[in-house]
Amino acid sequence: MPPCNFDYAHVFNAIGHTHSNDKGAHFDDYGVVESIVMTANITGYLGSGSVIRNKQGEYIMNYSEDHSNTLDFNNQTMYFAKSTDLWEWEMVPKNINYSYNDDADNNYENPGRLDCMAYLSTEKDDGSYYGYYTANPSDTAENGGGAGFAISLDESLTNWKALPTPGPRDPNFVGGEVGGIAKLADNEYLMVFSAGHLFTSSSPEGPFVAVDMNVNLMTPEGGANFPRIWGEPYTHKPGLVLLTHHWLSNPGVNAAVYAGLVKKLEKSEVDGVVRAVWYEANDSLKGEEQLNGGCDYVCMRKGVWIEGKGTDGVWIGLDGGGFKVRFDRENGVFQHGYSNSIDGDWTTDPTNTNRGDFIKELSDEDVSWRALVRVSFTNNTLVEFYLNDVVGSPFTITGVASGEFSGDINGGVYGLTLSVDN
C-alpha cells in the first residue's frame, strides 16, 4: 500500500515508471517517464492507459491528454508511444477517430473522451487486438453509457479502426471510465466500467451486461478508486485476471492516494460468482510476528497483518473509539463500521458490502480471515479484510489506529514488508 502524492497545481501531468520483481507485491519507483511530455496547455492533464507488446517486439503504450483547458474530461485525445526497452519512449501518430460510419447518430461524440484503452486479443492469426476505451457513444445517451471499441489494423498496434460500442447499455450505469477487459474462460469476457462495476458477455464484441451477483465489484464507498482489471495480454497466463486500484486515504477532491494491493478475479466453482480475492504473490508482505499481539503507533505506520478464525472479524482500536469489520451471517454481507468494541453496537450505521453468501454452508471453524491495517500519511487508517480469501471492501477509517486489536485472533499479528514505509 505505497503512497503517491500529486502536485494539484498541475493535475496528473506525468506518467510514472515502476518495476516489480515479485509479481506485483513490491514495486521500485523509477520516477516519471521523461520522454513523454504534455502537448496541451499546462492546465490540461494526462490520462493513463496501458502497455502491450506487439509482434514486432515493440512495447506500445496508450495514454490521453485533456485539451479543454477546463479539466472537464470532455476533450481527451488518445496518443500512442513505442519503446524497445520500457525506458525511452517515442510518440507515434494517433490513428483512432470518433467515427466508424457516415451516420453521425451512430458514432462517438466529438470532441469527447478517448482514454484508458485496454487490450484483448482477437485470437486471429494476424495478431490483431481489440481495444476498449473510455468514450461517449452518441447513441447510448438514453440507454446507459457504453465503452469505446476499436480493432487494430496492423501489427504495430498503433493504427486502429473504431467499431460500434459493445455496451454496456444500462440506464443504471450511464457513462464512466473503462476499467479494463479480460477473458476469464471460453465464451466468458469481463469488463469493469463506470466506477468499479462488473459486466459480462459471451462475446468480445458484446453486448456487455451487468453480472447477476457482485456487480459492485470494487465500487468506491470504502475509498477504493479507479479499479482496473488485467487479463492474459498483461499476465501472460490464460484465465489469470488481476485487479488493481487506487485507494483514497482521505476524502475530498485533493485526496491523497495509495496503491491498493493487487488482487485476483476468480469465479467460484460453488456458486458461479466472480469476486476479487487474495492474490498469492502478496504472501511475501507478511513480516515477523508481533510477539505481544499488537503494536504501537510507529508500528502502525508500517502496517500489520492480522489473522483469525470465524466471522466475527476484527476490532481496530482508534484514538477515542474503534472500528470493526466482520461478516454478517444473517444477511450474508460484509460490514464495516465504527464501534467501541468487537461485540458492541455500531456507533454509526455500518457500510454493508454484498459479495454473495459464499460461506453459508460452512461452520465458523471452517472460516478464516486476514486483515491488513496501516496508518496512512494523512493520519487516517487503511484496512483490507478478507474472509476465506474474498475481500470485502478496502476501507479508509477516519482516525489513527492505536495498535490495539480484538477478535478471534488465533492466527497472530505480523508486521508488513513494504517497499515504501511512508
Q: Domain ranges in the chain? A: 3-217, 284-416
β partners of residue 406: 315
**Closest CA relative to residue 39, chosen from 8, 13, 70:** 13
- According to the model, what pLDDT value does residue 273 have? 97
Cβ–Cβ < 8 Å for 182, 192:
no
The four Cα atoms 253, 258, 262, 268 give a dihedral, to 10 degrees, of -50
Cβ–Cβ < 8 Å for 231, 182:
yes
Percent of the chain residues past pLDDT 70, beyond the cut: 90
Run of H or E including 224: strand 224-230
Look at 57-71, 222-236, 345-359 and tell me which has the smallest mean pLDDT: 57-71
Instruction: Give how far Cα 236 sits from Cα of 86, 227, 337, Å.
Output: 17, 20, 39
What is the biggest distance separating any 2 CA atoms in the chain, rounded to whole angstroms?
A: 71
State how far the Cα of 65 lies from the Cα of 78, in Å rounded to an integer: 7
pLDDT digits (tens, 9 = 90+) for 61-84: 999 888 776 766 678 888 999 999
State how far the Cα of 146 lies from the Cα of 166, in Å rounded to an integer: 7
Instruction: Give how far Cα 95 sits from Cα of 57, 377, 395, 398, Å.
Output: 20, 42, 40, 46
- For range 404-409, the mean pLDDT: 92
Mean pLDDT of the chain: 88
Identity at 86, one-letter amino acid code: L
Percent of the chain residues past pLDDT 90, beyond the cut: 66
- For range 324-342, the mean pLDDT: 96
- According to the model, what pLDDT value does residue 227 have? 96
Cβ–Cβ < 8 Å for 43, 69:
yes
State how far the Cα of 302 lies from the Cα of 221, in Å rounded to an integer: 25
Assess whether pLDDT exceeds 50 at residue 7: no
The cell 450511464 sits on which residue? 174
Q: What is the DSSP letter of 339?
A: B
Identify the sign of the CA torsion 254, 260, 266, 271. Answer: negative
Residue 40 has which C-alpha cell?
Answer: 496541451
C-alpha R_g of the chain: 22
pLDDT interval class at 5 (50, 70, 90): very low
- According to the model, what pLDDT value does residue 47 have? 84
Query: Could you give the residue ranges of the DSSP H alpha helices within 210-360?
Result: 232-235, 297-302
Q: Return the SS3 of 282.
A: helix
State how far the Cα of 57 lies from the Cα of 239, in Å rounded to an integer: 23
pLDDT digits (tens, 9 = 90+) for 217-227: 999 999 999 99
Cβ–Cβ < 8 Å for 224, 246:
yes
pLDDT digits (tens, 9 = 90+) for 34-46: 888 777 655 678 8
pLDDT digits (tens, 9 = 90+) for 172-207: 887 789 999 999 999 999 999 999 999 999 999 999
- According to the model, what pLDDT value does residue 39 have? 72
| Whether domain 3-217 has CATH 3.30.450.20 | no
Assess whether pLDDT exceeds 60 at residue 422: no
- According to the model, what pLDDT value does residue 1 have? 42
pLDDT digits (tens, 9 = 90+) for 391-406: 999 999 999 999 999 9
**DSSP secondary structure of 165-223:** ------TTS-S--EEEEEEEETTEEEEEETTTEEEEESSTT---EE-SS---TT-GGGB
pTM above 0.85, yes or no: yes
Top CATH class of 284-416 equals mainly beta
